[in-house]
Structure 1
Amino acid sequence: MTDSAETGRLRQLGWSDVFAEQLAPDESDLHILRVSSVHRSRIDVIDVDGAADVVLAPNTNTADFAVGDWVLASPFTRDFVRRLDRKTVLQRRTEGSHGQQLAAANVDTLFIVTSCNADFNPARLERYLIMANQAGTRPVIVLTKADTVEDAETYETQARALQRDLPVVVLNARSPDALSKIAPWCGPGETVALVGSSGVGKSTLVNTLAGSGAEAQQKTGEIRQHDAKGRHTTTARSLHSIAGGGWVIDTPGIRTLYVSDVTDGIDTLFAEIIELAPLCRFRDCTHQHEPGCAVQAAIAGGTLDAARLERWRGLLAENREKTPVSSGPKGNKIFRKKKY
């Protein structure tokens, strides 16, 4: 196994006992690397000394790798050996696809970035929260462009209401104090990722985190004033070091985020409804018209917003519709939509 000094340096890259426990005795001499970017025909990796090399086998599908992955390679030939199991994985299903598209792996905190303007959309933020919940990653809402409006507190209040105990940070991504506001999640060895629409300031925030001396500053772009939409300035996911010792993964703007195979993520988002359901008189209560419904009683009592219940129903329905299930004999899997 790696010695204590090297283990300490690995921990600065985000290494933890979760990964160390996966190493077999005969893998003690293998080179430990972290994926810093994924391309069509190769992956870029880093080790404790900086940029490193790994050689993939011919015809390797790089879509199976995510930025943030830990991989093992031969210390002599640099040949790829295997990928370690992930602690967390951010992924999404695209329209018409049966598989999940990997966004990032082994992320400790997901910064869901939106701005205090027309981009602020609670329904879309809920979808990002579901993604984070399902992945097992801590979500934090980051409201940017706070300096451009007089009522940033209104946006903050709406954001906090989206999920129980949800941290919300309001900032100007270009301001020097932006770092101090998100510092609690960006300590040494911590890995954060940023998601959000184009033009909300993700790349600007990455540049602020990385510092002015970073080698690969992310490009930033202007937004259209009438609808707050921006151009995609980040075209690939990449891992960057943070001045405070952590790591940040920037991602391209996501135009459409489908809800699919994320039941646990939805349950976490709407925890107040899930906790009330067992108190209903009927086990199969639909929370619509049944007598003795604890959910409807909470709405009548003013402790639950009726709009929350409707959004919960809608997201559950979409999740059922868009989550494929496999059937058919072994070796001949057929994906079809769930039936309820």
Structure 2
Amino acid sequence: MSYRTYSLHQLGWQPDFAQDLTLADFEAGYPARVVATRADDLVLLCSRGALVFESPDCVDVAVGDWVMVEHKANRVVARLTRRSLLAYASAGDGHQRLARAANLDALFIVAGPGDGGEFAPLRRYVTLALEAGVMPVVLRTAGASTGELASELAGLPLTQVVDAGDVASVARLSPWMATGRTVGVMGCPNPDHAALTPDLLGSALGLAPAWPGGDVASTLSGGLAPTSGGAWVVGLPSLRARGLAVVESVTA
């Protein structure tokens, strides 16, 4: 797997990520962003290039997190302050939480009618994003009625609806696709729309296979993927696929 080199700005670094760090912290280590999580290790990107380290036992880490890497030991020693976190809780006993994506700027929701022509999950997705301070942006597919969407979203503030099949409408996504921005993508649980999501993103968002030999679908599922405009996109399972989804605003 080959990665190009990115600056911290290109990776989405913001000054508030360093609010709990001291000069001594920066002398002892450097920041890196988690672009993928695997069974036992993390794939990180930083101004030095790509790094692969064992997952730390001391703190839970999600795709999109910023961490500090120690110079001497070449290991992750801390997770930096999060702006937001999307986590899943299983429906079984214990409701174990699994952190899935951190530090999102926007949540793109691919909207189409679910079973019975309803948009049941849509308000829930939007509400979760708003509660976290993450901008919800609804991508309307050909199967989604404009009138039905307007009715479903009535009373919810700040929600943008973009027609995924209209070039002028898709252009309204540009503020969220700027260099360093990070967006999560969720689709309504209808299988037809889940299958559409990779193709939609590939054309509308300028998302190409992130690494040689890959495709858009595997790029989305593999962690943070770069777009042609410099933003980062991560594909997220639907509520139905993974149980309860929780998007929360966090300070640590």
User: TM-score, normalization: structure 1?
Assistant: 0.60
> Which SS does the other structure have where 1:202 is aligned?
helix
> Which SS does the other structure have where 1:54 is aligned?
strand
What code does the residue aligned with 2:198 have? S
Residues 65/87 of structure 1: CA separation in 2 closer, same or farther (3 Å cut): same
2:46 equivalent in structure 1: 47
C-alpha separation between the residues in 1 aligned to 2:238 and 2:48? 31
User: TM-score, normalization: structure 2?
Assistant: 0.78
C-alpha separation between the residues in 2 aligned to 1:176 and 1:76? 50
C-alpha separation between the residues in 2 aligned to 1:120 and 1:187? 34
1:258 equivalent in structure 2: 244
C-alpha separation between the residues in 1 aligned to 2:199 and 2:21? 38
1:296 equivalent in structure 2: none
C-alpha separation between the residues in 1 aligned to 2:138 and 2:159? 8
Q: State yes or no: 1:242 paired with 2:227.
A: yes
What code does the residue aligned with 1:207 have? G
What code does the residue aligned with 1:10 have? L
C-alpha separation between the residues in 2 aligned to 1:250 and 1:260? 15
1:189 equivalent in structure 2: 180
> Which SS does the other structure have where 2:217 is aligned?
coil
Displacement of 1:252: 3.0
- Structure of greater Rg: 1
1:307-335: CA deviations, max 9, x gaps? xxxxxxxxxxxxxxxxxxxxxxxxxxxxx
Tell me, which stretches of 5 or more residues in structure 2 are unaligned? 1-5
2:8 equivalent in structure 1: 10
Question: Which structure 2 residues correspond to residues 281-300 of structure 1 after superposition, within 5 A?
Answer: none
Does the 8 Å contact 2:137/2:161 carry over to 1?
Answer: yes
1:219 equivalent in structure 2: 217
Q: How many correspondences in the alignment?
A: 234
Q: State yes or no: 1:113 paired with 2:113.
A: no
Residues 11/103 of structure 1: CA separation in 2 closer, same or farther (3 Å cut): same
Does the 8 Å contact 1:238/1:251 carry over to 2?
Answer: no
C-alpha separation between the residues in 2 aligned to 1:189 and 1:119? 39
Residues 250/260 of structure 1: CA separation in 2 closer, same or farther (3 Å cut): closer
Residues 245/137 of structure 1: CA separation in 2 closer, same or farther (3 Å cut): same
Moved more, 119-128 or 190-199: 119-128
C-alpha separation between the residues in 2 aligned to 1:139 and 1:14? 19
Does the 8 Å contact 2:33/2:66 carry over to 1?
Answer: yes
Does the 8 Å contact 1:89/1:102 carry over to 2?
Answer: yes
C-alpha separation between the residues in 2 aligned to 1:261 and 1:116? 23
C-alpha separation between the residues in 2 aligned to 1:252 and 1:260? 12
1:136-173: CA deviations, max 9, x gaps? 211111112x2xx5x7422442344261232111113x
2:162 equivalent in structure 1: 169
1:295 equivalent in structure 2: none
**Which 4+ residue blocks in structure 1 deviate beyond 4 angstroms?**
116-120, 175-179, 259-262
Displacement of 1:109: 0.4
Higher relative contact order (CA 8 A, sep 6+): 2
Tell me, which stretches of 5 or more residues in structure 1 are unaligned? 1-7, 221-232, 265-340
C-alpha separation between the residues in 2 aligned to 1:42 and 1:183? 33
C-alpha separation between the residues in 2 aligned to 1:176 and 1:17? 34
Residues 165/74 of structure 1: CA separation in 2 closer, same or farther (3 Å cut): closer
Q: State yes or no: 1:32 paired with 2:25.
A: no
> Which SS does the other structure have where 2:9 is aligned?
helix
Residues 85/143 of structure 1: CA separation in 2 closer, same or farther (3 Å cut): same
2:99 equivalent in structure 1: 102
Q: 1:68 aligns with which of 53, 56, 64?
A: 64
> Which SS does the other structure have where 1:113 is aligned?
strand
Does the 8 Å contact 2:87/2:247 carry over to 1?
Answer: no
> Which SS does the other structure have where 1:9 is aligned?
coil
> Which SS does the other structure have where 1:77 is aligned?
coil
What code does the residue aligned with 2:91 have? E
Displacement of 1:177: 6.2
Q: 1:133 aligns with which of 130, 147, 163?
A: 130
Does the 8 Å contact 2:107/2:183 carry over to 1?
Answer: yes
2:20 equivalent in structure 1: 22
Aligned-residue sequence identity (percent) comes to: 28
C-alpha separation between the residues in 1 aligned to 2:171 and 2:63? 25
* Aligned residues: CA RMSD: 3.2
